[in-house]
Structure 1
Amino acid sequence: MEYAFDAATARRAPLHVLHTWAVPLAPSGSAVDPEEEKAHTLAATLTPWRHKFPDTDVTERTMHGRAAHHLLMASTKASLLIVGRCIPSGARPGPVAHSAIHRSLCPVAVVAHG
């Protein structure tokens, strides 16, 4: 997140944060809507960053579906696409980062996080 906020601040550009998930949304007995839960979690994750970077315009979206697809669609209007990557995934990028690197319509930064 820090890299994304720093990049947006340096570019004086808005930051669009996209969180996707591809696990099927199966009905359950839970009263919690999974989409609302994902949106709430994303908002909570962004709160300290919004305080640290108050001048950065941030838009957040949660979407069900494949991350690579949604990121490639977002790259059509982006000046930089930042993809998070888990450190333990090995020397090669994962499938989402790989897709972004090879198919994005804008520059891509793959940033490891732990």
Structure 2
Amino acid sequence: MTELSQQCRTLLHRMMWQTPDGVVDAFALCATREEARRFFCSAISLVSGIHQDELELFNLESFDDLVHAGVSEDEDMRIFETQWNGAHVAGWTTRPLFLTPDPTLIARWAELRAELAAPQTNS
């Protein structure tokens, strides 16, 4: 199993973007919350072709925020949690936008998707 890089553990931020087709969870590495807010606004505006003032962005959270809010036994996987029912994860990132080339972040998401698909494959 892949471990998240130290860079992810210190610089990772996630922001949710409401699109007409549903929520996209955007991930980036930024030194501060304010830098992350500016980066997400600029990058998502550029990628989507939507002016920054018209973007629906919400829930900017750091790696630490996500780990403290999450409930998964594997703390690294908490960055992909989106909903909870008590101590049970009820929702995971399904539409990620990785605005970083960090391979450990992408590998962890791929491992999560494989883990979630395994029960369906086995039945």
Question: Structure 2-normalised TM-score?
Answer: 0.40
Larger proportion of strand:
2
Question: Structure 1-normalised TM-score?
Answer: 0.42
